[in-house]
Amino acid sequence: MPIDKITTQYPTGNNLYALIYNKDQEVAYPTGKAFETYGTSGRDASDYAIAMSEIAGTGYYYASWPTWMDNGTYSYVMRIRAGSTPVNGDTGFGPWEKYWTGTALAAEPDTNAVAICNQGLLLVGGKKDAQVITSLGDGTPTSDACDLIYHPIRKTVIARGYFQETIKYGECAENTTWSGEQADWEYVFDLPSDYIKLIRQCHEDSPETEYRSEVIQGKLFSNVYSNSDGDAAYIKYKWNETDGDNFSQELVNCIAHLIGASLAPQILGVENGGVRRHYLLEEYEKYILPTNDGVAQSVQYKRDIFRSKWKILGGRVRKDF
């Protein structure tokens, strides 16, 4: 399927359409080739709908991304057309976030990725032309290698560590179309589009609490609703932060050391690179250890519990706590 397509999977034989929104939460109006506030001049879903086509009997639906849109990050939702035309009351699912380059859909560029990769290359040393890059994936061996490894390494470090800038709270809407096995779990929820790893399901009014839950096949399984409205799951999780300007020095150090360890054999050769890789991995472990998922999360959890008990006691401390 071409990379300029919106795609989704859904039971076969349905009539699906997409609605696209910009960062100002304005909806795309295809006829006018512009974004506007939903309902402008009395327009409704039938004016904003981008019809999806199904590959015969497969449940795989697609539509072309509107080429008139400027490059940038957009979100879109899927709607299921119940009648002959789209209406505002049609149910749906989503949203998802995509970066449109002007010709293709791609992952949103990572801010400061080049600078962090260069820190990793500096840790490796070696040939002069392999010490600095000016962009990712420019056709040179080192730049292309950085382009391949930066994104997965960043996500690996975020998943393993416990960095405050990569942690947030959010709601997970219930997935009412789940048809797979769910064992003894009562509910299945969709995870946020920027999700990397679950820390815990908690209650929106009491974030220090924790409910039994697990993530399977990209879904959250639980036996409780935990948001304030009682219709969704509320979670604390690690999210896909891509803006390097927000990274702490600890996070930058971890990413740079892991990048250096990954590239050392390519830059220095197998023998010398292997020695350097071993050293950088040891250094990486030293940097990641204080922010290790288990260690730092345990410390944070104890702080959450203390704050909770402090609140219950009205700011008084009892020794039995």
> What confidence tens digit (pLDDT) does each residue in 20-37 have?
999 888 999 999 999 999
pLDDT band at 109 (very low <50, low <70, confident <90, very high): low
Show the tokens assigned to 118: 């260069």
Gyration radius of the chain over CA positions = 24
Confirm whether 227 is domain-assigned.
yes
Please check whether residues 233 and 281 belong to one and the same domain.
no
Q: Which of 43-52, 136-145, 192-201 has the lowest mean pLDDT?
A: 136-145
Same domain, 276 and 235: no
- CA angle centred on 238, ends 291 and 123, rounded to 5°: 50
Q: Note the pLDDT of residue 310.
A: 42
Instruction: State how far the Cα of 125 lies from the Cα of 264, in Å rounded to an integer.
Output: 8
User: Is-above-0.75 flag for pTM?
Assistant: no
Q: What is the CATH number of the domain that holds 18?
A: 2.60.40
| CA torsion angle 219 147 97 50 (round to 10) | -120
Tell me what the pLDDT averaged over the chain comes to: 87
Residue 309: inside a domain, yes or no?
no
- Is the same domain home to 142 and 255? yes
Residue 211 domain-assigned?
yes
Q: Are residues 202 and 219 in the same domain?
A: yes
pLDDT for residue 1 is more than 90:
no
Q: Which of 159, 183, 120 is nearest to 133 (CA)?
A: 120
Residues 105-115: what's their mean pLDDT?
Answer: 78
Please report, rounded to a whole number, the percentage of residues in the chain having pLDDT higher than 70.
88
Query: How many of the other CB atoms lie within 10 Å of CB of 189?
Result: 25
Q: Six-digit token pair at 7? A: 């795609």
Do 157 and 253 lie in a common domain? yes
Distance CA 263, CA 312 (A): 52
Q: Is the pLDDT of residue 314 over 90?
A: no
Q: Are residues 221 and 252 in the same domain?
A: no
Q: DSSP for 253-305? A: HHHHHHHHHHHHHHHH-HHHHHHHHHHHHHHHHHHHGGGBHHHHHHHHHHHHH
In a domain, 320, yes or no: no
Query: How many structural domains compose the chain?
Result: 3
> Which tops the pLDDT comparison, 266 or 258?
258
Q: Is the model's pLDDT at 299 over the cut of 80? A: no
258 confidence band (pLDDT: 50, 70, 90): very high
In sequence order, what are the beta bridge partners of 63? 6
Residue 314 lies in a domain: no
Question: Does residue 42 form part of some domain?
Answer: yes
Query: In the predicted model, is pLDDT for residue 300 greater than 60?
Result: no
Clarify whether residues 95 and 221 are in a common domain. Answer: no
**Could you tell me what percent of the chain has a pLDDT over 90?**
65
The whole-number pLDDT of residue 193 equals 84
**Residue 148 located in a structural domain:** yes
Kindly state whether residues 200 and 253 are assigned to the same domain: no
Residue 315's pLDDT band (boundaries 50, 70, 90)?
Answer: very low
Q: Has residue 134 been placed in a domain?
A: yes
> Do 24 and 97 belong together in one domain?
yes
Rounded to whole angstroms, how far apart are CA atoms 72 and 87? 28
Give the model's pLDDT for residue 312.
41
d(CA 29, CA 130): 47
Residues 145 and 257 in one domain: yes
Coil/strand/helix, residue 236: strand
Distance CA(71)–CA(102), nearest Å, equals 5
Q: Is 128 helix (H, G, I), strand (E, B) or coil?
A: helix
**Helix pair 249-268, 270-288: axis angle to 10 deg:** 170
Residue 58 C-beta-side C-alpha neighbours within 13 Å? 10
Domain boundary among 56, 84, 104: 104
Domain coverage including residue 91: 5-104
Say if residue 189 is in the same domain as residue 227. yes
Same domain? 184 vs 197:
yes
